Structure 1
Amino acid sequence: MFPPELVALTRHDMVRALPPALFEQILTQHLYRYLDFTTKLELLVVNKTVLAIANGGVDLHLPDEMVFDAYKIYCDEAYHALFSADLIRQVHARTGLPPQLDERPYFLTQLRRLQESVEPQLRALVELLFVVCSETLISATLAEVPDDPRVDTAVRRSIRDHAADERRHHAYFAAFLKFLWYEMDSGQRRAMARLLPDLLLAFLRPDLPAIRCELAGYGFNRDQIEQILAEVYDDGTVNAYARDTSRQTMRYFAAVGVLEDQAACNRFAELGLLEEGR
């Protein structure tokens, strides 16, 4: 159902030693999480922002064509949510394996936590920048799954269509960042620059509590679970993944001057998001 190379848990010897049926369950549950993540991201966050852009709810001086394009993106993202929800139903019907999904996605919990950490008047900016992050990060899933013959044809086709749309959305939000950043005042830029590293990781960090629950369901005891998590999601591996995935986004941040704020630069470095030599 999903390439094991893109499922971090499958790198661990104890996980690879599971019976084939359980190993396949891990891949299927990962597919469920990916599809559910897509559905909730598009509906609960991205389309909320895109709708505000289209309806003039974002106080920026945007070109008319950019405002009109927001309507198109809204339709794209709604369709991504629809086909992701539909694929979950299809996979469940085919495999008989029920999806194990959190009602509230991890990324949304982290986003709300970061919004609550700033003054109320800055919280809308935090969400706008979270969408910029989510739409400009380069996902290995979107890049690799469409050409993998091991993956179900319907899944490959849907993710290929999603990837084509996201390339356009990527370009849109890279341009949107410039308008947003340059229309902020100096205090807003300073506050947001220092929060951006944590916003990136809100999107990219693994949901360890959910993974613990999943591993317990496969029969691992507490010590085994903690060993697997420590060895699969060590800081070096997590930071390397975040750096690779956010490389282009970091270029956009640098271009608008985010890294000119020393405190922001220090925070990016502390979280392992800067390339060596910066």
Structure 2
Amino acid sequence: MSASSPDHAAATQSHKLRFTLGDWDNHASVRTSRHTYQLPEDLQCQLQTRFWFPPSFLPYLSHPAIEAAGSKVMHRLAANHLVHFLDYTTLLEHRIVNRAVETIIHGELPTHIPQHMKTAALQLYTDEGYHALFSHQLAEQIADLHGFTGRPVMPLRITRLSGQIARAPQTKRPLTWFLIGFVSETIIARELLDVCRETLVSSVNDMLRDHLADEARHSRFFSEVFHYLWLTLNSRQRAFAARTLLETLTIFFEVDEKWLHQSLRRAGIGDSAIREILDNLGNEQACRQRARSGATATLAALDKAGFFTHPNNRKLFAKAGLIDA
């Protein structure tokens, strides 16, 4: 399918009013937020009823060995998980997402890029730089408070995504970057929505809610651009995209076992309990369940773009347990 095909013309016409971040000047956190994200003076009081990170995202905290260790250990583990998440976010925004955005801005993708799409991408690029900044600043405060050292640790997900990009053929690398960015932005919006439903330390809550407000717009933008791009790809490009998307989704829901093992051990959790925790989180069924529930926004965007009307794509994703056969 060429860029001048009827499908492409229809995509251009139907999307001519899209590819924007709305009233960006009055909504983007980098332009409007008054939050400082400083740890509150009544932090210890807040921690009696609030969390550093949602317990629902840290199922290992319910392990008997951790519950027996008491609230101080549980808070330390949650704080360490938050710092790791924030360090990961800083790396993700800089090394993965903004590089994906550059493929739109600089016309690296195999299709014509409308000017208003480029403008929105430049705004999104600015947002992501700010997300990296406030993630880093908050991580520094929490790490100093708890005495966490040896950070940032390179997250497994960043390593795996970087390897995926390195293995992609040079001619398909920009497309690979974009697809990874699309998966990342649609997943993180859902993650942040779930996180913000919990009662968190006030500065953490402020930061995550500002982040969520931006990422909701980013998710919509990336979904629209994916739809536009999908209609322009030829059959070989589509087959490559399907395999790339599945690999990327798998990577996003893997457990960083090495980091988690270290976090638990430093908190004084015994080896047998650590093995049980890692076995429960890292088995294939658990990974599939996380992917299926965590990737709903991504899968919905694929469905809306007509991705699953292709039998091979439906079969591929059903085999991976992401959709019903």
TM-score under structure 2 length normalisation: 0.76
Q: Which is worse superposed, 208-217 or 258-267? A: 258-267
Q: Is the 8 A contact 1:32 1:88 kept in 2?
A: yes
Q: Is the 8 A contact 1:39 1:81 kept in 2?
A: yes
Q: Cα distance 1:255–1:96, how it changes in 2: closer, same or farther (>3 A)? A: closer
The whole-number CA distance in structure 2 between the counterparts of 1:254 and 1:242 is: 16
1:114 maps to which residue?
A: 164
**Superposed, which structure 2 residues align to 1:231-270 within 5 Å?**
231-270=280-319
Gaps of 5+ in 2: 1-51
SS at match of 1:62: coil
2:270 is the counterpart of 1:215: no
Letter aligned with residue 280 of structure 2: E
The whole-number CA distance in structure 2 between the counterparts of 1:62 and 1:2 is: 39
The structure that has the greater radius of gyration is 2
Q: Which is worse superposed, 22-31 or 256-265? A: 256-265
Q: CA deviation at 1:48?
A: 1.4
1:152 maps to which residue?
A: 201
Q: CA deviation at 1:237?
A: 3.1
Q: Which has the higher contact order (CA 8 A, sep 6+)?
A: 2
Q: Which is worse superposed, 29-38 or 213-222? A: 213-222
Q: Is the 8 A contact 1:10 1:16 kept in 2?
A: yes
Letter aligned with residue 214 of structure 1: S
Q: Which is worse superposed, 119-128 or 167-176? A: 119-128
**Superposed, which structure 2 residues align to 1:30-41 within 5 Å?**
30-41=81-92
The whole-number CA distance in structure 2 between the counterparts of 1:55 and 1:86 is: 30
Q: Pick from 153, 163, 179 the counterpart of residue 129 of structure 1.
A: 179
Deviations 1:246-273 (A, max 9, x none): 1121122233343345554343233321
The aligned length equals 274
Q: Is the 8 A contact 1:215 1:225 kept in 2?
A: yes
Question: Alpha carbon RMSD of aligned pairs, Å?
Answer: 2.3
1:198 maps to which residue?
A: 247
Identical pairs, percent: 29
The whole-number CA distance in structure 2 between the counterparts of 1:140 and 1:251 is: 12
Q: CA deviation at 1:221?
A: 4.3
1:61 maps to which residue?
A: 112
Q: CA deviation at 1:212?
A: 1.8
2:154 is the counterpart of 1:104: yes
2:219 maps to which residue?
A: 170
Deviations 1:106-131 (A, max 9, x none): 22221233334443322322221010
Q: Pick from 76, 84, 100 the counterpart of residue 25 of structure 1.
A: 76
Q: Pick from 46, 58, 65 the counterpart of residue 7 of structure 1.
A: 58
SS at match of 1:98: coil
Q: Is the 8 A contact 1:190 1:261 kept in 2?
A: no
**Superposed, which structure 2 residues align to 1:180-199 within 5 Å?**
180-199=229-248
Deviations 1:82-133 (A, max 9, x none): 000000112233x233155454322222123333444332232222101000
1:88 maps to which residue?
A: 139
Q: Is the 8 A contact 2:182 2:223 kept in 1?
A: yes
Q: Is the 8 A contact 1:2 1:27 kept in 2?
A: yes
Gaps of 5+ in 1: none
Q: Cα distance 1:96–1:224, how it changes in 2: closer, same or farther (>3 A)? A: closer
Q: Is the 8 A contact 2:156 2:256 kept in 1?
A: yes
SS at match of 2:113: coil
Q: Cα distance 1:145–1:263, how it changes in 2: closer, same or farther (>3 A)? A: closer
2:57 is the counterpart of 1:42: no
Letter aligned with residue 70 of structure 1: A
Deviations 1:113-170 (A, max 9, x none): 3334443322322221010001112556411444544x22111111111000011101
The whole-number CA distance in structure 1 between the counterparts of 2:272 and 2:98 is: 41
The whole-number CA distance in structure 2 between the counterparts of 1:55 and 1:113 is: 23
TM-score under structure 1 length normalisation: 0.88
Q: Cα distance 1:179–1:89, how it changes in 2: closer, same or farther (>3 A)? A: same
> Structure 1 or 2: larger helix share?
1
The whole-number CA distance in structure 2 between the counterparts of 1:58 and 1:148 is: 39
Deviations 1:30-54 (A, max 9, x none): 1101111211111111111223322
Q: Cα distance 1:148–1:253, how it changes in 2: closer, same or farther (>3 A)? A: closer
Letter aligned with residue 263 of structure 2: E
Q: CA deviation at 1:18?
A: 1.7
